[in-house]
Amino acid sequence: MEWVLNNWGNLASLAGLVVAGFTLRAARKARDAAEGAREQARRRSLSEDLQDAKNKSQEVGHFIRDGKWQGAYLRSQEIASTCSVALTRWRTELTETSKENITRARTHADSIARVSMLADVTAPTTSQIETISTSQRRMTQLLSEELGESLRVIERSPEEDV
């Protein structure tokens, strides 16, 4: 007991050090959790952009089928723009394969826009319609793949990160 009375300051300092250690550990866990939540929110934003582009790509298919060239042109331009924004905004997070797929989707959207822009002046040939229809289907496929990858990353369990 006498030892405790003589060393109470050292014991209090030790207890303070232990409490500070636990506090630091809790703060680090909270910071890591916040960073994870922020990254997940960013990924959700990418997923929402890709979902929107995929839906617009499907609309382009309907516009091509129905010969509504102005709609095909506008939607294709929107898709190309969304792809460009995604490539710039997410350049560090996207894998090389994802970058290539999004770039290909943008290229398909540009091709469709080019044909659609002129279609009201000069009717596209059957061959051109077949080509842009194929481009539209491939564009939808690429965007769907990237959407799936983005959702997979979001839904991945924390244990997979370890």
Q: Which helix (H) or strand (E) holds 13?
A: helix 8-66
Superfamily of domain 10-156: IL-4 antagonist (De novo design) like domain (1.20.120.660)
Mean pLDDT highest for which of 23-27, 91-95, 132-136? 132-136
At residue 154, the pLDDT reads 78
162 band by pLDDT with thresholds 50, 70 and 90: very low
What's the mean per-residue pLDDT of the chain? 87
Q: Say whether pLDDT at 120 is over 90.
A: no
Over residues 49-63, mean pLDDT: 96
Say yes or no to pLDDT of 117 above 90.
Answer: yes
pLDDT at 153: 83
Check residues 88 and 24 and name the one with the higher pLDDT.
Answer: 88
Provide CB contacts within 8 A for 69, sequence distance 6+.
63, 116, 117, 119, 120, 124
- Is the per-residue pLDDT at 140 higher than 70? yes
Comparison of pLDDT for 21 and 119, the residue scoring more: 119
Distance between CA atoms of residues 125 and 141, nearest Å: 24
Question: Does residue 158 have a pLDDT over 60?
Answer: no
Q: What is the DSSP letter of 125?
A: P
Q: What is the pTM of this model?
A: 0.73
Closest C-alpha to 45, from 157, 153, 158, 141: 153
- Each residue's pLDDT tens digit, 69-94: 999 999 999 999 999 999 999 898 89
User: Which pLDDT score, from 0 to 100, does residue 10 have?
Assistant: 77
